[in-house]
Amino acid sequence: MNQLLYSKLSSLFKVELSLATSIGQIQLDRPVMLASGILGISLDVFNRLYRSGVGAVVTKSLSTEPWEGYPNPTIFSVKGGGWINAVGLSNPGATNFAKMIEPNQDVPIIVSLVGSIPEDFETMIKQFENCKVTAYELNLSCPHVAKVGLEVGDDPELVKKIVTTAKNTTDVPIIAKVGLGTTHYLNTVSAAIDSGIDAITAINTVRAMAIDVETQRPILSNKFGGLSGTPIKPIALRCVYEISSKHDIPIIGCGGISTWEDAVEFFLAGASAIQLGSAVGDNWIDVFNDINNGILQYMKRKNYSSIKEMVGLAKKQ
Amino acid sequence: MQRNNNHTTIVTIEKVIDETPTVRTLVFSDDVMSNVLPGQFAMVWIPGVNELPMSVMISKEPGKAAFTVRKHGPASTGLFNILEGQQIGIRGPYGNSFDLKEGKLLLVGGGTGLVPMMRLLTFVKPTDDVTVLIGAKSKDEVFFEDLANNLLENNPHKVIVSTDDGSYGEKGFVTDLVEKLVSKSHFDGVYVCGPEIMMYKTVQSAHSRKMFVQASLERMMKCGVGICGSCCVGEDLVCRDGTVFDGQHLSTNKEFGHFYRNKAGILENY
């Protein structure tokens, strides 16, 4: 974050303004994370993002083997705002990725994982034993790859088995990322909580598509993709509010956040931290410090000294 | 209303020009693309086939632009096979552009890396003394030699072709020619686009002699807008920070000239 602004504001108001937040056992200096799937394959880029103000980097979702993903077009810009992507969970595989992040000491890295069966997650988590990992995020909600993601998240019994296996494999906190599938996402949340999950990320992209009227064919090579960005923000906000109203579980808000006001809305709905991705495509990586600074100004104006003071306030209204 | 660069625009191919047996130029009408800066690129959708990043080629006619493509993989072969009257989608322009110096300039292009060099030539001043080096494997693969000479007809200039097998022009790698030229005289600006090893050697030759040098990088690209991360080189993203990088900056990049990433994002040696 902007150190100059930080010290200026702190001295002006004689309060120790802090962007630090905790999501259960996870401690972060700043509440804005890079969401999974975005810019996530190089440690050099992670370091740059950390310098640009992220509190943590969530990696691309990793699988047991490397995946090439779908052919292009893999992304579509929606008129009126938002993106539809079907990158297809392209990733270098957990083993290669673990080797790459082994030297990391400075950047809080949350490792995102996809798999079909509990053993996939056990195998992958073991690959990271020599790495400094802040948390694991189980991707139970990717809407455009068969046998993983939503197909797993839509099966609460399988979710229970995966979470239990992951929890038994490591002491590092485990987060479940849920989204909108055919099973009500609150059932997935309940299953994850019953099995000892440490936190919930809500939500993932929403299954969508785009058709070109001139050539009269679907644009994405996979036909269907996940809608992200500003169009899904109100939906994501509703989900965070619903989860925090029903459960006492740390929540990370994700879905269409692109401004500090969006971030604060999610805190007020019950999120202790937020993730963003599409806003990087719209505003590039300056967006992280812009949001940090906006949150700080808001805290100053409302006389809050920590993020925690804001979390869930809208539920009291 | 101003066009949003990220939205796909459908254009019709009006003319197909065979440059070599494996290289074609496809001309289309589009005001935005006709005015792009050298180094900028478009994401080109070949319906039902793929989408790929392409440097935007100039056209002699106002309001028109073109893509020059070599058939290689399924995506570029799909674009190569597009016929007059067929439609493609374009979005962009994306990326930055070359910083044009004045005086004695050296432009180095290999294969379709010549495309941004040809666009750069439309920006040189009549007083600039311009040397263009065209690198190709053999005589069959040489193109844009006449075009470069035509674009520079009012300038003091040289267009030199080198072929790896010596079947046309000078024999040998174009990078040997670069080394020979920069060791003999000072250039105010050196610009390169082509295979990465060619760019790496050119940047080294010029930068080690404290000459201003820029390269337009190419990487596996999926989104073009800084989301997917596929095109990262070290901490740089070719789509958002490039495609053009200074020699000064590239000399600190650990991956440039040494590694590329495959479709899964795994680093592989050149």
Closest residue in chain B to residue A216, using alpha carbons only: B47
Q: CB-based contact (8 Å) between B11 and chain A?
A: no
**pLDDT at A15 > cutoff 70:** no
Q: Which residues of chain B make contact with A278, given a CB cutoff of 8 A? A: 227
The amino acid that residue B40 corresponds to is Q
Given pLDDT bands bounded at 50, 70 and 90, which one contains residue B93?
A: very high
Token pair of A12, please? 């002006």
Averaged confidence pLDDT in chain A: 94
For residue A31, count other CB atoms closer than 10 A to its CB. 29
pLDDT average, residue stretch B71-78? 95
Nearest Cα of chain A lies from the Cα of B48 at a distance, in angstroms, of 7
Nearest Cα of chain B lies from the Cα of A316 at a distance, in angstroms, of 37
Q: How many helices (H) and strands (E) does chain B have?
A: 8, 17
In terms of Cβ atoms closer than 10 Å to its own Cβ (0-12, 13-18, 19+), residue B62 is exposed
Query: Tell me, what's the pLDDT at A41?
Result: 85
Global ipTM = 0.92
pLDDT tens for residues A280-307?
999 999 999 999 999 999 999 999 999 9
pLDDT tens for residues A40-87?
789 999 999 999 999 999 999 999 999 999 999 999 999 999 999 999
At residue B54's C-alpha, the angle toward residues B48 and B58, to 5°, is: 120
Give percent of chain B above pLDDT 90: 97
* CA of residue A10 relative to chain centroid, distance: 29
* CA of residue A101 relative to chain centroid, distance: 19
Q: Is A92 in Cβ contact with B229 (below 8 Å)?
A: no
In whole angstroms, how far apart are CA A242 and each of A149, A234, A238, A247? Answer: 21, 12, 6, 9
Q: Is B7 in Cβ contact with A47 (below 8 Å)?
A: no
Closest residue in chain B to residue A78, using alpha carbons only: B7
Given pLDDT bands bounded at 50, 70 and 90, which one contains residue B2?
A: confident
pLDDT tens for residues B122-172?
999 999 999 999 999 999 999 999 999 999 999 999 999 999 999 999 999
Given pLDDT bands bounded at 50, 70 and 90, which one contains residue B94?
A: very high
CB pairs under 8 A between A and B: 126
Q: CB-based contact (8 Å) between B235 and chain A?
A: yes
Closest residue in chain B to residue A214, using alpha carbons only: B10
**pLDDT at A233 > cutoff 60:** yes
Catalytic annotation, residues of A = 142
Q: CB-based contact (8 Å) between A80 and chain B?
A: no
Of B89, B227, B229, the CB nearest to A212: B89
Q: CB-based contact (8 Å) between A284 and chain B?
A: yes
Query: Tell me, what's the pLDDT at A10?
Result: 58
**pLDDT at A5 > cutoff 80:** no
For residue A295, count other CB atoms closer than 10 A to its CB. 25
**pLDDT at A317 > cutoff 90:** no
Closest residue in chain B to residue A51, using alpha carbons only: B235
Q: How far is the C-alpha of A150 from the C-alpha of B81, rounded, in Å?
A: 38
